[in-house]
Amino acid sequence: MKPITVPFLLAGALQVLPLLGGLSTVVAAAEADQRPNILFIMTDDHASHAMTCYGSVVNKTPHLDRIAEGGVRFDNCFVTNSICTPSRATILTGKYSHLNGVPVFNRFDGSQPTVAKHLQAAGYYTGLIGKWHLGSDPTGFDHWEILPGQGRYRNPVFYTATDTRTIEGYCTDIINDLSIEFLKNRPKDRPFFLMSHHKAPHRAWEPDERHGAMFANRTIPEPATLRDDYATRTDAIKENQQRVFDDMTRRDLKLKPPADLKGKELNQWLGVKPTEVEIEVDGRKKILTGEELNAWKYQRYMQDYLACVQSVDTNVGRLLDWLDANGLSENTIVIYTSDQGFYLGDKGMYDKRFMYEESLRTPFVVRWPGVIKPGTVQKGMALNVDFAPTLLDVAGIPIPADIQGRSLLPLLRGDRPADWRTSMYYRYYHDPGHHRTAAHYGVRTETHKLIYFWKKNQWEMFDLVADPHEQKNLYGNPAHRELQEKLKAELYRLKRELNDNDQFAHEQPPAGVDGPPPRRGANP
Ligand code: CA
pLDDT tens for the chain, 524 residues long, are: 344 444 444 443 444 344 444 444 444 544 445 899 999 999 999 999 999 999 999 999 999 999 999 999 999 999 999 999 999 999 999 999 999 999 998 899 999 999 999 999 999 999 999 999 999 999 999 999 999 999 999 999 999 988 999 999 999 999 999 999 999 999 999 999 999 999 999 999 999 999 999 999 999 999 999 999 999 999 999 999 999 999 999 999 999 999 999 999 999 999 999 999 999 989 999 999 999 999 999 999 999 999 999 999 999 999 999 999 999 999 999 999 999 999 999 999 999 999 999 999 999 999 999 999 999 999 999 999 999 999 999 999 999 999 999 999 999 999 999 999 999 999 999 998 889 999 999 999 999 999 999 999 999 999 999 999 999 999 999 999 999 999 999 999 999 999 999 999 987 766 556 777 666 544 43
Residues 102 and 244 in one domain: no
Segments forming the whole domain that contains residue 242: 231-299
Residues 87 and 200 in one domain: yes
Residues 187 and 99 in one domain: yes
Within-domain flag for 409 = yes
- What is the model's pTM? 0.93
How far does residue 130's CA lie from ligand 1's centre (Å)?
13
Last residue of a domain, one of 274, 299, 324: 299
Last residue of a domain, one of 263, 281, 299: 299
Q: What is the CATH number of the domain that holds 13?
A: 3.40.720.10
| Cβ–Cβ < 8 Å for 388, 398 | no
Dist CA 341 CA 352 (whole Å): 7
How far does residue 150's CA lie from ligand 1's centre (Å)?
10
273: burial class by Cβ within 10 Å (0-12, 13-18, 19+)?
middle
Residues 244 and 376 in one domain: no
Nearest residue to 371 (alpha-carbon basis) of 75, 76, 124, 71:
71
Residues 339 and 366 in one domain: yes
Residues 55 and 160 in one domain: yes
Residues 59 and 86 in one domain: yes
Four-point Cα dihedral 289, 291, 296, 302, nearest 10:
140
Residues 265 and 352 in one domain: no
Within-domain flag for 347 = yes
Within-domain flag for 212 = no
Within-domain flag for 317 = yes
How far does residue 151's CA lie from ligand 1's centre (Å)?
13
Nearest residue to 133 (alpha-carbon basis) of 160, 173, 156, 105:
105
Last residue of a domain, one of 393, 417, 441: 417
How far does residue 81's CA lie from ligand 1's centre (Å)?
10
How far does residue 46's CA lie from ligand 1's centre (Å)?
8
How far does residue 361's CA lie from ligand 1's centre (Å)?
12
Tens digit of pLDDT for each residue in 345-393? 999 999 999 999 999 999 999 999 999 999 999 999 999 999 999 999 9
Q: Characterize the bridge pairing of strands 382-383 and 72-74.
A: unpaired
Residues 37 and 163 in one domain: yes
Residues 405 and 358 in one domain: yes
Tens digit of pLDDT for each residue in 414-423? 999 999 999 9
Bond prior to 223 in cis (omega within 30° of 0): no
How far does residue 210's CA lie from ligand 1's centre (Å)?
24
Q: How many CA atoms lie within 13 A of 254 on its CB side?
A: 16
Residues 6+ apart with CB under 8 A from 352: 45, 82, 83, 340, 341, 342, 343, 359
Within-domain flag for 458 = no
Alpha helices in 409-502 (DSSP H): 409-412, 481-497
Residues 43 and 176 in one domain: yes
Within-domain flag for 188 = yes
Of the chain, the percentage scoring pLDDT greater than 70 comes to 91
How far does residue 203's CA lie from ligand 1's centre (Å)?
9
Neighbours of 41 (CB within 10 A): 26
Within-domain flag for 30 = yes
Residues 26 and 164 in one domain: yes
How far does residue 340's CA lie from ligand 1's centre (Å)?
6
Within-domain flag for 500 = no
Dist CA 431 CA 6 (whole Å): 42
List the 164-166 sheet strands across, edge first. Answer: 164-166, 157-159, 143-147, 125-131, 192-197, 37-43, 332-338, 364-367, 72-74, 376-378
How far does residue 283's CA lie from ligand 1's centre (Å)?
38
Q: Give me the number of domains the chain comprises.
A: 2
